[in-house]
Amino acid sequence: MTDTEQAYSAIRRDGVLQVSRPETEWLSTGWNGGRCTADCVYNVSVPEDWERTDLGAYVDERLERAGFDPTAADATGPALLTGVDIGDACGARCGPVTAYATAGVSNPAALPIEPETSLDADGTMGEAVETDLEPGRGTVNVIVGTTRALAPGALANLIAVAAEAKATTLLAETGFPGTTTDAVVVGHDPSGPPAEFSGSGTEVGAATRACVRDALREALRVHYTDSDVTCPDSVSDAVYGVSTDTRAEVFHPPAADEAIEPES
């Protein structure tokens, strides 16, 4: 059976994207994240005026309304939330990796390389350019699955690989490395061919970078080019967002005064 035949499948229904593969181990940076084993993960689109704080109950309601059983054993894994229409979700596949992305940048998170402010005399941050933040605005969500069986550290590292690809793509396409509410979920097949590493020079890492880049670029194109939604040019131009315009205190760890001599 080929990797394509084994790929992570997805379906959209009533504002919910379900990505599924039996007995997958997932690692999520989103709400209620961490590691778990489940057949499915979800990306849930929330309405513009959304103000719910009981996230667990809300996700269950949305899954049930969309015809997905939130109580099925091993069926429900991590769920991400987004202010983007789930109809704008896009996928990409390369070798042993499949990725899905939704992308909205109404809440950009800028990171100036030459920040304008510095730490105050008491070591606290100076004022930063920040707008009021509200849930359900924008967000870039990425779900990555591989048919390989990753070592524990390799699964964790896949988060970094996907986040790096996300930031690089967003910088090139929008000028921002991310938004205030981005999240990444990665999954692997514990029964698949083993892979000890997932860095950018490995098959899994390289495929993940390509998938995230291409799925995210298409998701941005669909969300912005094929609609009347406009991508902001700056944080001040955005409805919601933040710019980290403060400098941290830089220091070098001290060296030991002298080597400790072994006892005779």
Residue 148 has pLDDT above 80, yes or no: yes
Look at residue 5 and tell me whether its pLDDT is greater than 60: no
What topology is assigned to 9-243 in CATH? L-amino peptidase D-ALA esterase/amidase (3.60.70)
pTM of the model: 0.89
Compute CA 144 distance to the chain's CA centroid, rounded to the nearest angstrom: 9
Contact assessment for residue 211 and residue 144, using Cβ atoms and an 8 Å cutoff: yes
CB contact at 8 A, 67 and 14: yes
pLDDT score of 120: 56
Q: What CA–CA distance (Å, rounded) separates 220 from 242?
A: 20
Helices (H) and strands (E) in the chain — how many of each?
Answer: 3, 12
| Closest C-alpha among 219, 63, 39, 56 to residue 141 | 219
The answer to whether residues 78 and 26 touch, using CB atoms and an 8 Å cutoff, is: yes
Residue 17 identity: L
Q: What is the pLDDT of residues 91-143, one digit of tens each?
A: 999 999 999 999 999 999 999 998 876 655 555 554 444 444 444 467 999 99
The yes-or-no verdict on residue 183 having pLDDT over 60 is: yes
Domains in the chain: boundaries: 9-243
